Chains A and B, each alone.
Chain A
Amino acid sequence: MTDVIRTTVRITVNGREIDVTPGELLIEAAEQAGEYIPRFCYHPRMDPVGMCRMCLVEIDGPRGATLQPACYIHVNDGMSVVTNSEKVKKAQDGVLEFLLANHPLDCPVCDKGGECPLQDQTLAHGSGETRFIEEKRHFVKPIEIGELVLLDRERCIQCARCTRFSDEIAGDTEIAFSGRGDAIEVAPSPDRPFNSVFSGNTVQICPVGALTAKPYRFSARPWDLEQVESTCTTCAVGCRIAVQSSGNRLTRVLGVDSDPVNQGWLCDKGRFTLDSIDQNPTSSNVLDESTRIDSPMIRINGVLEPVSWGEALEAAATLLRHATGHSVGAIGGASLTNEGAFAWERFVRGVLISENLDAQFDDGLDPILLQGLAKATINDAVNAKTVVTLSGDLREELPILFLRLRQSIVRNGHALVEFAFGPSALRPVARVSLAVRPGEMHLAARAIADGSDAPTGVAFRNEQLDEVRQLIGDTGDGVVFVVGRANLAEDPRVLENAIRRLAARYSDATFLVALRRSNVVGALDMGLSPGLRPGRGFDPRAKGRSTREQLAALRSGEQKVLLVLGGNVLGNVLDTNGARQALEVADVIAVTGHGGPTLAYANVVLPVAVTHERTGTVTNIEGRVTAVTPKIVAPGSAWPDVAIAAELAALLGENLGLESVEHTAHAIEATTGYPALSVMNDEVFDGTVVGAKGAPSLRHALDPMAVPGIRSTESVGIASYVGATMVADSPRGALVASATLADLANDDVLDVPPADAYALRLVVSRRLYDHGVAMQGSPALANLVDPPSLSLHRVDLDRLGVPSGTVVDVTGAHGTLPLPVVLDDGVCVGTGVIAFGSLTLAGDDVVATLVDFDSVFSQVRLETR
């Protein structure tokens, strides 16, 4: 006989009996029953601390009714609670009065004014006059505690939201309390400024104006802002955001609490790079990445000149009319919406009759392999008892995925196994870190999968392999592998081989694809890669050129015309010198919203609307399709991608049949079953995961005080989801067939050359603060980009015999560069790590100079000067 497990307990709130979930916090249970208990320090995504004491309510106990904080008392059966008695009111009013005693009340000059929980509570419940006649506490105000965040300690109410976030969620220790009594203050670390890549979250959750963000400070008043809910496309996690503008000027991005994705958090790159979209009206140099392209252009006498859409489209059509399927191709597309990607896919395959298209820049993974893997969601990874990463440093590549995984490890004690090719922010919480040098990833995977010993010469150890096998179990049940491109200087087949091994061996394991570039998953799902088809489909007979192969074909003259989707080829490929040679001889049509060095080679430039200016859907790393919503109007005469593709097709005598973004979304869903229009029309769910079997996750009704800044006691903007129903479910076709692992060519035997014992194997990794368009166009973040360096392990630095920071000559495949060597014990012995996109002071591209693009891995030699 099985016991009946009770799923609810009954409590009494203000005389009314309600059924609640056992163990739930009283503050949550009461709120669901319609009794809002005021609070400042409580935040649903962090452990309660009971510091502000605003949520005191009367709870019946053995000693009669006593005042207890609702934020950390768990409900139990029969609990009787009063939230509205005179005693409760006096206690809460008392707390409010105490909070205001030392508060400067400088609301007229405070950024938080108008959306401040303290201000709202005071207006709603506070006394009109103060009884506090003493001198208030004084601090220097405000102080800069990091590049992006300022702290006004006079306004602080010591709720510990910021310090808890840093410690508990982000794992940073850069801010903490110091002092005591009413002289207690949040203080930055004496050693390190508050430059956490998550620093902006502390500003968003600050319930007063104590923490302010430099990019937003004094730029707007909350009541002047309008907002829409959208999805961040800075990386591929797909964080839900509220995008705010004042008129047609973007002012602020706030994290929205999407339970399966970002849970309210954002990284600073996603939050603070709005300037790259709308703050550079004065810049007119089209080679500058911060410049917005606001007019079509064609090259006349060697110079790009603004022209009308008609002239530009005709010029593009002319180039394309002379091309055949083999002599034309498209590169890019990860920055597009799914609808934009679908339109261009129709254009390239249907109008140009070409299979040469690739949304990746030879910096990702084989999309056919990725299609064949059993997919995991972010929640699957967070809930997995063991997570295995074969990816870059997730904090640098997919910051919010890092946050979610870190919490599952720290809070729930889940195990993390790292294939550790270089520094990783998750290293301190990893159960096992297998040191894998370039050319060894597949060896580690093979040893684990086959139960064999570590081959000689590798850096990982047998006892580590044993532990990993134990953590993965026999079939990989409950295990999630996080797979992304770890080392850009290594032939991706090494990593792909490792993934295939593991997928074949552990049939119950699932895979979370950790590709990082904005909507790259959506672009691939829309077919922007040779062999792929829209709707995550696959055609094994189709053969086309990848990005790298197209650039080679352009150099050899086999391909003549290149359509660049999203503009920035030179900022994204590894072999910039090879790409330059290709662009030099090609006819280039660039469809882009931003300038950049690629435009030096463009014959025709077609301006598009970029993020926050366009509507549509995007797909994140887990295959979750969500809507993006325009907040401002694109500058000048920029068009949506769908319109450009359709007009260009019309000039070439074809009808794409796509009249609008909505129409395109309808076409995607109707022809492939891939969620698109249904997502755009949906106000109930947190997006739709492609092919997911479980019930979709409901959107959160935003807690007014949990996410201060979005709503305070009054709602602004974002519609209430309660009671909303799904609108106009579009006809959805059956999902098309995807690739399986059996579709892969059998190249299991990988020929890895021996390493040179006197050289270092090179690792090229991604950094969050890079040289991309978003960072380049955002002056506030400019100082956060690290100068180029080569990171070494202590052993190798000692062998070199120079202190950290010394400039040495680094010789790679294509030349020698001066680079400072920097100590980093996260680096494997015998390897050196450089960041992608680094340029030396002399302007040399570090990756292009050092990496051997034809080898399985690259090596460098160091020489002291």
Chain B
Amino acid sequence: MAVLDAPRIVSSRAQFADSYTLSRYLATGGYVALRKALTMFPEQVAAEVDKASLLGRGGAGFPAGRKWSMLRKSPISYLVVNGDESEPATFKDHFLVESDPHQLVEGVIIAAYSLQVSQAFIYIRGEFALGLERVQQAVNDAYAQGALGSKIFGSDFSLDIVVHPGAGAYICGEETALIEGLEGKRGFPRIKPPFFPAVTGLYGEPTVVNNVETMSNLPWIVNNGGEAFAALGAGRSTGTRLFALAGRVVNPGVYEIEMVKNTFRDLIYDPKLGGGITGDHKLKAIIPGGVSAPWFGPEMLDLPLGQDEVGEKGSMLGSGSVVVMDETSCVVRVAWRITKFFARESCGQCTPCREGSGWIERAMYRLEHGGGRMEDMDLLLDLCDNIAPGLSWPPQQTTICVLGSSIPSSVHSAIAMFPDDFREHVLHGGCPHD
């Protein structure tokens, strides 16, 4: 049975229709955390985040406290919030920016105070028109009530926040591409080294880049203490996490549940969560952490939803997206659609990603729509191997950023798990589900 007794850390207000307004926010404990944080030393705030063992919620799961501690000392440094969530079936930041923008802004101010930066940017996917509007309003409200600008709430701390809309490129969710975009340049990920923006980031200055959900956790952590946060979950995976559940489930949506205490089975089948597979069909496969992640079969249903637990089984919790496929889903079509997304969104810098994604997409299209050949499976696996040598997990890279090594996951999983489906497509001369 699902364990659902944990507090809702980031989604508590979503139940209210006016959850995004300042009045609702203030009525439900808003800006208490910031006032408290301002009475603490910046290092104390960071210590609480460290204690909370808050893992970054953007996908890679890097500990936020450690990221902060890596910020190079410099007269100028920046905080950048990554709200460019653009992956198919990932929509938890979308939910946060629309449902609780004040919580995000308060989190950003707390983080900026702890990092002692005076300029922050919230970069939000351009297509989130409503979210952009609400976050901008929240920023305006914060200025109006003295929570932003100079001498915040009478303290010595000053901060400005700029809300910046993305221009429609998935790659700008990659933190160095996002930084390039903020600088007004084409969204090309930067070469590494330097490995971390915390050393050389925006305008060449040290920069912390954190995800929207990561920031949204901060008011609760300051209010309740890092230890209370760390008491939730287990192992390295502390606190709660938003899961964007999609696909063939009765109740798709965003669910905040405690880490590790629940399994994929809980998330998909619990009546208070996914509510089971639609139409009493049988589960065929799960994409456990966004479309970059290798797939799981039904045998992984009882795997706990924890970062290391999923990692050890050769995939990732990633962006918190869980996609459910049943036996009526065409895995070839799913893999083709995912590849098509990556082919469209490759920035075009690195040859293996640029050319490989397009080639794989076209071959997958043939398989799905007629024209597939038996030898295409070997060809596809070899092309995947040329993008991510060894097809191991975590993947080896031939490209500047991880978009390249994300391309093979779905194709490799689909071919490895369901070779008969591919053969059927070839023999049938197209998709048997059509």
A-to-B contact residues, CB < 8 Å: 48-54, 56, 66-67, 69, 72-73, 87, 90-91, 94-95, 97-99, 101-102, 131-132, 134-135, 137, 157-158, 160, 176-177, 179-184
Residue of A nearest to B363 (CB): A134
Name the B residues within 8 Å of A87 (CB-CB): 389
Residue of B nearest to A69 (CB): B191
* Pairwise interchain contact A98-B386, C-beta atoms closer than 8 A: yes
* Pairwise interchain contact B186-A176, C-beta atoms closer than 8 A: yes
Query: Bound complex: CA of A179 vs CA of B344, how far in Å?
Result: 10
- The answer to whether the Cβ of B61 comes within 8 Å of any Cβ in the partner chain is no
- The answer to whether the Cβ of B357 comes within 8 Å of any Cβ in the partner chain is yes
Given A67-B397, A158-B354, A182-B354, A134-B386 contact (CB < 8 Å): no
Residue of A nearest to B378 (CB): A131
Minimum Cβ distance to chain A for residue B376 (Å): 9
Partner of A131, one of B349, B352, B379: B379
Residue of B nearest to A103 (CB): B355
Given A50-B400, A134-B362, A134-B363, A98-B345 contact (CB < 8 Å): no
* Pairwise interchain contact B398-A94, C-beta atoms closer than 8 A: yes
Given A91-B386, A158-B354, A67-B347 contact (CB < 8 Å): no
* Pairwise interchain contact B363-A54, C-beta atoms closer than 8 A: no
Partner of A95, one of B169, B193, B346, B398: B398
* Pairwise interchain contact A182-B343, C-beta atoms closer than 8 A: yes
* Pairwise interchain contact B345-A181, C-beta atoms closer than 8 A: yes
Query: Bound complex: CA of A180 vs CA of B356, how far in Å?
Result: 13
- The answer to whether the Cβ of B399 comes within 8 Å of any Cβ in the partner chain is yes
Query: Bound complex: CA of A180 vs CA of B189, how far in Å?
Result: 13
Given A67-B397, A98-B351, A182-B358 contact (CB < 8 Å): yes
Given A91-B398, A134-B363, A49-B355 contact (CB < 8 Å): no
| 7 nearest A-B pairs in the assembled complex, by CB-CB distance | A94-B386, A184-B348, A98-B355, A182-B358, A134-B362, A181-B346, A50-B191
Query: Bound complex: CA of A183 vs CA of B351, how far in Å?
Result: 12
Name the A residues within 8 Å of B356 (CB-CB): 98
Partner of A52, one of B351, B363, B385, B389: B351
Name the B residues within 8 Å of A72 (CB-CB): 191
Given A49-B191, A67-B397, A134-B362, A180-B347 contact (CB < 8 Å): yes
Given A50-B400, A90-B389, A181-B352 contact (CB < 8 Å): no
- The answer to whether the Cβ of B359 comes within 8 Å of any Cβ in the partner chain is yes
Partner of B351, one of A67, A131, A134, A157: A157
* Pairwise interchain contact A53-B351, C-beta atoms closer than 8 A: yes
- The answer to whether the Cβ of B396 comes within 8 Å of any Cβ in the partner chain is yes
Name the A residues within 8 Å of B186 (CB-CB): 176-177
Partner of A182, one of B355, B366, B386: B355
Name the A residues within 8 Å of B385 (CB-CB): 90, 94
* Pairwise interchain contact B357-A181, C-beta atoms closer than 8 A: yes
- Which of A56, A134, A157, A180 is the most central at the interface, judged by chain B CB atoms within 10 Å of its CB? A180
Minimum Cβ distance to chain A for residue B110 (Å): 33
* Pairwise interchain contact A135-B348, C-beta atoms closer than 8 A: no
Query: Bound complex: CA of A48 vs CA of B192, how far in Å?
Result: 11
Minimum Cβ distance to chain A for residue B377 (Å): 13
Interface pairs (5), CB distance under 8 Å? A56-B398, A69-B191, A72-B191, A158-B349, A180-B171
Partner of A98, one of B169, B344, B359, B389: B359
Docked complex: B351-394 residues within 8 A CB-CB of A: 351-352, 354-359, 362-363, 366, 379, 383, 385-387, 389
Given A51-B349, A53-B351, A98-B386, 11 more pairs with CB closer than 8 A: A48-B191, A53-B350, A56-B398, A91-B398, A98-B355, A101-B355, A176-B186, A180-B348, A182-B346, A182-B358, A184-B347
Name the A residues within 8 Å of B396 (CB-CB): 66-67
Query: Bound complex: CA of A101 vs CA of B387, how far in Å?
Result: 14
Name the A residues within 8 Å of B358 (CB-CB): 101-102, 137, 181-182
* Pairwise interchain contact B344-A180, C-beta atoms closer than 8 A: yes
Name the A residues within 8 Å of B354 (CB-CB): 98, 158, 181-182, 184
Query: Bound complex: CA of A854 vs CA of B252, how far in Å?
Result: 89
Minimum Cβ distance to chain A for residue B109 (Å): 35
Query: Bound complex: CA of A176 vs CA of B383, how far in Å?
Result: 29
Given A49-B191, A87-B389, A182-B350 contact (CB < 8 Å): no
Residue of B nearest to A180 (CB): B348
Name the B residues within 8 Å of A181 (CB-CB): 343-348, 354, 357-358
Given A53-B399, A180-B345, A135-B362 contact (CB < 8 Å): yes
Name the B residues within 8 Å of A90 (CB-CB): 385-386, 389
Given A91-B389, A91-B398, A98-B356, A180-B169 contact (CB < 8 Å): yes
Query: Bound complex: CA of A131 vs CA of B379, how far in Å?
Result: 8
Residue of A nearest to B375 (CB): A131
Annotate B91-112 by CB proximity to A: 1 below 8 A, 0 otherwise: 0000000000000000000000
Name the B residues within 8 Å of A56 (CB-CB): 398
* Pairwise interchain contact A67-B348, C-beta atoms closer than 8 A: no
* Pairwise interchain contact A99-B355, C-beta atoms closer than 8 A: yes
Name the A residues within 8 Å of B379 (CB-CB): 131
- Which of A72, A101, A179 is the most central at the interface, judged by chain B CB atoms within 10 Å of its CB? A101
Query: Bound complex: CA of A50 vs CA of B171, how far in Å?
Result: 17
Residue of B nearest to A182 (CB): B358
Minimum Cβ distance to chain B for residue A604 (Å): 62
Query: Bound complex: CA of A90 vs CA of B391, how far in Å?
Result: 14
Residue of B nearest to A94 (CB): B386
Query: Bound complex: CA of A362 vs CA of B254, how far in Å?
Result: 81
Docked complex: B376-425 residues within 8 A CB-CB of A: 379, 383, 385-387, 389, 396-400
Query: Bound complex: CA of A135 vs CA of B358, how far in Å?
Result: 11
Query: Bound complex: CA of A102 vs CA of B343, how far in Å?
Result: 14
Partner of B352, one of A66, A95, A158, A180: A95
Name the A residues within 8 Å of B349 (CB-CB): 49-51, 158, 160
Residue of A nearest to B362 (CB): A134
Name the B residues within 8 Å of A160 (CB-CB): 349
* Pairwise interchain contact B351-A99, C-beta atoms closer than 8 A: yes
- Which of B193, B348, B355, B362 is the most central at the interface, judged by chain A CB atoms within 10 Å of its CB? B355
Partner of A67, one of B191, B383, B389: B389
Annotate B155-181 by CB proximity to A: 1 below 8 A, 0 otherwise: 000000000000001010000000000
Residue of B nearest to A65 (CB): B396
* Pairwise interchain contact A95-B348, C-beta atoms closer than 8 A: no
Query: Bound complex: CA of A410 vs CA of B347, how far in Å?
Result: 27
* Pairwise interchain contact B352-A179, C-beta atoms closer than 8 A: no
Name the A residues within 8 Å of B345 (CB-CB): 180-181
* Pairwise interchain contact A182-B352, C-beta atoms closer than 8 A: no
- Which of B346, B351, B358, B389 is the most central at the interface, judged by chain A CB atoms within 10 Å of its CB? B351
Name the A residues within 8 Å of B191 (CB-CB): 48-50, 69, 72
Given A72-B191, A91-B389, A158-B348 contact (CB < 8 Å): yes
Query: Bound complex: CA of A52 vs CA of B191, how far in Å?
Result: 12
Residue of A nearest to B358 (CB): A182
* Pairwise interchain contact A94-B352, C-beta atoms closer than 8 A: yes
Name the B residues within 8 Å of A158 (CB-CB): 348-349, 351, 354
Minimum Cβ distance to chain B for residue A705 (Å): 16
Name the A residues within 8 Å of B193 (CB-CB): 73
Query: Bound complex: CA of A52 vs CA of B354, how far in Å?
Result: 10
Name the B residues within 8 Å of A66 (CB-CB): 396-397
Minimum Cβ distance to chain B for residue A607 (Å): 54
Query: Bound complex: CA of A309 vs CA of B349, how far in Å?
Result: 63
Query: Bound complex: CA of A68 vs CA of B397, how far in Å?
Result: 8
* Pairwise interchain contact B352-A53, C-beta atoms closer than 8 A: yes
Query: Bound complex: CA of A863 vs CA of B82, how far in Å?
Result: 60
Query: Bound complex: CA of A157 vs CA of B400, how far in Å?
Result: 17
Query: Bound complex: CA of A52 vs CA of B348, how far in Å?
Result: 10
Minimum Cβ distance to chain B for residue A25 (Å): 12
Residue of A nearest to B365 (CB): A134
* Pairwise interchain contact A51-B386, C-beta atoms closer than 8 A: no
Name the A residues within 8 Å of B350 (CB-CB): 50-53
Minimum Cβ distance to chain A for residue B393 (Å): 13
Name the A residues within 8 Å of B397 (CB-CB): 66-67
- Which of B362, B385, B398 is the most central at the interface, judged by chain A CB atoms within 10 Å of its CB? B398
